[in-house]
Structure formats: C-alpha cells, structure tokens
Amino acid sequence: MKDDTIDEAKLRDLMNEVSALPTSIEPPADAWGKIRAEIEKTNQSETARIRYWQNPVFLAAAALLLIAGSSAVTAIAINRRGAAVAREAEKQIAAAPDTNTGPASLAQFTVVESDYLRAVNDLSATLESEQDSLSPETIAKLRASIKIIDAAILEARNALAADPANKTLIQMLAKSYEQKVDLLKRTTEMARS
C-alpha cells in the first residue's frame, strides 16, 4: 500500500521556509494606470445612465407621452360624441389613481403587470371585433396613441432592467399601462354606444 504519511520534521522545515516568503511583491509600475482608466470608464457610463433617467428633459418627455395618450383619448371623444363626452373623459383622467400610490417595487409591479396585460388583451380582442362601428380616423388615432404608450412602456421596461430599484420608473411604467388600459376601455365603450 502506498505510504501517504509526511515526515513531520520535513513538514516543519517546509513551514519555516514558507513563513519566510515575502508577503508583499511590488506589482508592475503601470498597473495602477490601467485600473484608474477602467474606473473612470465605469464612472462615465454610470453617470450617463443616471443622467439618462434623472434628467428632467427625459422625465418631461415621458410625462408628455402620457399626456399625449390622454389628449388622444380626448380628441377621439370629441370627434365621436362631442364636448359632453370630452368632459366626461377629462373627469375620468382626473380620477385616475395617483402614480405615487402605485407599486413600490419591481416585484410588486410584476404581479400587477400580469393583470394589466390580461386587461389589454381582452380589450384589444373586443375592440378588434367591434372596430367596424368606429370611423377610420378614430381607429388611426387610437393606433397612434397605443404606439406612443407602447414606446413609453418599452423605454421604462428597458430602463428598469438596468435599474430595477428605481421607484420613479416603476410608477412611470404602471402609469403607462393604466393609460393603455384606459384608452382601450373608453374606445371600446364608444364603439358600443
């Protein structure tokens, strides 16, 4: 059988030699320069990412997208049923839930998102079957508005992938879904009236 024991004296000698090894060895002189360059690159991309989502211009643009969605609903309503319906639509928009009370985390939102998606699918199917009762102009405006809201949803989704803890983005995404559901719901009601 193979002897697997180690001579204790030799092991002690080895450990003595090991304890005398240098614990510190000077790295190449240019090593820090590359680290610093990498850090600065990292900082720049991080700053750019933060700037993108905290930039007031972006936030204002996102808000405009949402307003555009609401305005489109109003415009459709005016075309279809006149000022009385428009006033009613404005009331509904005013009564929409405050975004500050929306989901506080991405995990919470993911649960809510499935409800939004189900509602969107149901309403889209209903609208598809009843679109003959709407004018081509109304359908075109509806599609344009949906496209704008979908772009906002996609933007917010992509941003959340990079920054999942950003509550503003979560609320913005929730608000975009609300707008989409609201738009589809009111258009479906118009088609049925």
- Binding status of residue 1 toward another protein by CB under 8 A: no
Q: Which residue has the tokens 């972006």?
A: 58
Which amino acid is it at 32? W
7 belongs to the binding site for another protein (CB under 8 A): yes
CA–CA separation, 97 vs 108, rounded Å? 16
Cβ 170 vs Cβ 164: under 8 Å: no
Specify the residue for token string 């428009």: 86
Which residue from 31, 63, 96, 144 is in contact with another protein, where contact means CB under 8 A?
A: 31
CB nearer to another protein: pick between 21 and 83: 21
* Number of Cβ atoms within 10 Å of the Cβ of 84: 10
Closest CA to 149 of 62, 87, 80, 36: 62
Contact letters for another protein, residues 43-82 (x by CB under 8 A):
x---------------------------------------
| CB neighbours of residue 19 within 10 Å | 8
C-beta of 37: minimal distance to another protein in Å? 10
- The CB-of-1 to another protein minimum distance in angstroms stands at 15
Helices (H), 82-166: 83-94, 106-130, 136-162
Measure the CA–CA gap between 176 and 151, rounded to whole angstroms: 9
Does residue 11 interact with another protein by CB under 8 A?
Answer: yes
Closest CA to 64 of 141, 179, 162: 179
Smallest distance from another protein to CB 31, Å: 6
The residues in 85-104 that bind another protein, with binding defined as CB under 8 A, are none
38 binds another protein (CB under 8 A): yes
Residue 8 within binding range of another protein, rule CB under 8 A? no
CB of 5 or CB of 101, closer to another protein: 5
Q: Of the listed pieces 15-23, 117-125, 130-138, 165-173, which binds another protein according to CB under 8 A?
A: 15-23
The binding site for another protein (CB under 8 A) comprises 4, 6-7, 10-11, 14-15, 17-18, 20-29, 31-32, 34-36, 38-40, 42-43
